[in-house]
Structure 1
Amino acid sequence: MSTVAEKKPRLTTSAMIASIAAEGQKTVAAPFGHTLVKAAQTRQNIVGLTADLSKYTDLRIFAQAFPQRHFQMGMAEQLLMGAAGGMAKEGMVPFATTYAVFATRRAYDFIHQVIAEENLNVKICAALPGLTTGYGPSHQATEDLALMRGIPNLTIVDPCDALDTEQAVAAVADHQGPVYMRLLRGKVPLVLDEYDYQFELGKAKLLRDGREVLLISSGIMTMRALETAKELAQSNVDVAVLHVPTIKPLDITTIVEQGCRGGRLVVVAENHSVVGGLGEAVAMALMHAQVMPAFRHIALPDDFLAAGALPTLHDRYGISTKSMVNAIKGWLA
């Protein structure tokens, strides 16, 4: 059941963990938790694990539905990944949840050696990806994609909204092999229901076409890209939006096909550092195909970011809709 985001009051400390939903935007509560429960109703081998964060990754919904299939590992992310690997060896399909910073930075070697090297069927669902919390570098996973893209066998998914999350969870559950999925939690915006969207693992989707700009994006930046396209249309700037929910394996065919269409400014927008994420992957794909459009990159700086209210930080680091509109107008000028 979707709801509408409440009108936001003046920014306070709570804005550091505020919903990313814009004022008046439709939202869905805990799409990850509810979809996982639905999948587990017909899949007895699905189990849920967390490192003391069931409440904050929406795994609590799974825990309430299947208490005997929920495993609380405590504040021990390395143990979380090791246990998930062991369960996968016994035929289970573990969904291991924690914050993205802890999954990638603290438990990296366990994912690399225990899970990925043996190609085990573990699904790592990591909340607070990129700049989706204002609690500073200790909680901002601005380099998670760069770290995880370097691991062989690992599929990487970055959903845009509640619909994308629901469909991705179902697809990830059916996929054989390890997956790292960026997780949107709580009241998640709903935007792709207006675009006849269907998630397909490994496939990019053209959500809207345009003659002057091609915005290639993933995760919450696809939501921002669609907002940017609508605002620029009021200035007679025609913007296409290509959503890339699977970062690895990358849909190179679709990216190159769209990049080949001459005369368009190509802009990659991602909720991640400028280093090692979607922007570099897209640029490499285009260069290997000898496609050389005018190219720009909207991403977080290669820096330790500030703490503060999320709306303020998104403006400061250039990933708000207003910032994107201004940047693209400047590049076109």
Structure 2
Amino acid sequence: MSEVKKIATRESYGNALTELGKKHEDVVVLDADLAAATKTGMFKKAFPERFIDCGIAESNLMGVAAGIATTGKVPFASTFAMFAAGRAFEQVRNSIGYPKLNVKIGATHAGISVGEDGATHQCNEDIALMRTIPGMVVINPSDDVEARAAVEAAYEHQGPVYMRFGRLAVPVINDRPDYKFEIGKGVTLREGKDVTIIATGLPVSNSLEAAEKLAADGIDAKVINIHTIKPLDEELVVAAAKETGKVVTVEEHSIIGGLGSAVCDVLAAQAPTKVLKIGINDTYGESGPAVELVKKYGLDADSIYAKVKAFCE
């Protein structure tokens, strides 16, 4: 079997910004002294006159981005998720969200797969925080293809967008001719009739692998990739729940306030269904190799398989 191509979505972000800069002169990229890690350094090298390093001052970064947006430019404010959503929440809420400014936030190093940086940098709360801001679009791409498409779609969208990217290289699963990215539209990756697995970000590829293992046990799992958590593809979620009768959500994020909560909100109102939420339980992460942490916190293919199998039985 040939080796699966793996790319970190933070790399995809840097590459996509550079390509976007070639096509659109109104793109401005801002960073908070992390250009090498967030990969915005690629854009800086290509367009130094359109790159602003705001230093280790993330709240100010968001204020500067807001100001630039009022001039008609399209700023991409970039830093780690812990700082973009956590430290600068007030500025994102009041300076970007409240006036509905056209700012795009590129948040890298999200989730436990940040690895050795440990619990202080492993942001498992950012989706929950950003979901609460009125009008904020929240995107969590699953691979390189989707991340690049998300950056392009964010530019085209008028209004604030939060994009979540990872540090760990993940398999490329969307490299097919018929792939289409559309904000607010989920993607059915596998049909099934016994249970629906709805995943976002890093665990999408692992969920697909888990579905293959389940098939060997006679459990036919539908797999849906939800790259846009807000606005959620309610129609797809409800239809899948009605079709299979059981739903499992999988996310590299707290089970409180993230994809699982968004799905449960919709199903409780439109199609009450039994739901299992797989994600980071009410706990902090810890320092360690990213792959080992993904396994320890139950987001690898074997763990997802075991949990879904038990849920179905």
**TM-score if structure 1 supplies the norm length?**
0.89
Equivalent position SS for 1:132: helix
1:7 alignment counterpart: none
Indicate the residue corresponding to 1:294 in structure 2: 274
The DSSP-based 3-state class of the residue aligned with 1:240 is strand
The question of 1:68 aligning with 2:16 is answered no
Q: d(CA) in 1 for partners of 2:166 and 2:296?
A: 22
The CA deviation string for residues 247-304 of structure 1, in whole angstroms up to 9 with x for no partner, is 1111111111111114x42101111101111101101101101x12332111101112
Equivalent residue in structure 2 for 1:227, among 198, 209, 212: 209
Matched, 1:32 2:44: no
Which letter does structure 1 place at the counterpart of 2:277? H
CA distance, structure 2, for counterparts of residue 247 and residue 328 of structure 1: 22
**1:53 maps to 2:34:** yes
SS in 1 for 2:82: helix
Amino acid at match of 2:38: T
- The answer as to whether partners of 1:214 and 1:240 remain within 8 angstroms in 2 is yes
- Distance (Å, rounded) in 2 between the aligned partners of 1:46 and 1:68: 11
Q: Does 1:332 align with 2:312?
A: yes
Cα distance in 1 for partners of 2:118, 2:299 equals 16
* Aligned-partner Cα distance in 2 for 1:228–1:318: 12
What is aligned with 2:87?
A: 106
- 1:204 equivalent among 168, 181, 186: 186
Paired residues, what number? 309
CA shift at 1:203, angstroms? 0.7
1:231 offset after TM fit, Å? Answer: 2.0
Distance 2:309 2:188 in 1: 22
State the distance in 2 between where 1:90 and 1:42 align.
19
CA contact (8 A) 2:199 2:249 kept: yes
> 1:285 aligned to 266, 270, 276, which one?
266
Task: Work out whether residues 113 and 168 of structure 2, in 8 Å CA contact, stay in contact via their aligned partners in 1.
Answer: no
Q: Deviations over 1:121-155 (max 9, x none)?
A: 11001011121212222101011111111111111
The Cα RMSD (Å) is 1.6
Match of 2:263, SS state, is: helix
Counterpart pick for 2:24 among 32, 43, 55: 43
Q: Which residue of 2 aligns with 1:146?
A: 128
User: Which of structure 1's runs of 4+ aligned residues deviate more than 6 A?
Assistant: none
Question: Is contact 2:213-2:305 (8 Å) kept?
Answer: yes
Residue of structure 2 aligned with 1:321, choices 289, 293, 301: 301
Structure 1: give runs of 5+ residues left out of the alignment.
5-23
Q: Is the 8 A contact 2:113 2:294 kept in 1?
A: no
Matched with 1:303 is 283
* 1:243 counterpart residue number: 225
| Whole-Å separation in 1 of the counterparts to 2:170 and 2:67 | 32
CA deviation profile, 1:84-107 (whole Å, cap 9, x unmatched): 000000111001110000111110
2:105 matched to 1:124?
Answer: yes
For residue 118 of structure 1, give the secondary structure of its aligned residue in structure 2.
coil
Tell me the SS of whatever aligns to 1:268. strand
Shift of 1:25: 2.4
**AA matched with 1:76:** A
Q: Secondary structure at the match of 2:311?
A: helix
Structure 1 residue 217, shift from structure 2 partner:
1.0
The answer (yes or no) to whether the contact 1:58–1:185 under 8 Å persists in 2 is no
State the TM-score, normalized to the length of structure 2: 0.95
Q: Which amino acid aligns with 1:197?
A: Y
CA gap of 1:119–1:207, structure 2 versus 1, over 3 A, is same
Tell me whether 181-190 or 67-76 shows the greater mean CA deviation: 181-190
Residue type of the alignment partner of 1:162: D
Task: Work out which of the residue numbers 237, 242, 247 in structure 2 matches 1:255.
Answer: 237
Work out the CA distance in 2 between the residues paired with 1:202 and 1:309: 33
- Using the TM superposition, give the Cα deviation of residue 306 of structure 1 relative to its aligned residue in structure 2, in angstroms: 2.0
Task: Give yes or no for contact 1:31–1:185 (8 Å, CA) kept in 2.
Answer: no
Note the residue ranges of structure 2 that are not aligned, 5 or more in a row. none
CA contact (8 A) 1:31 1:188 kept: no
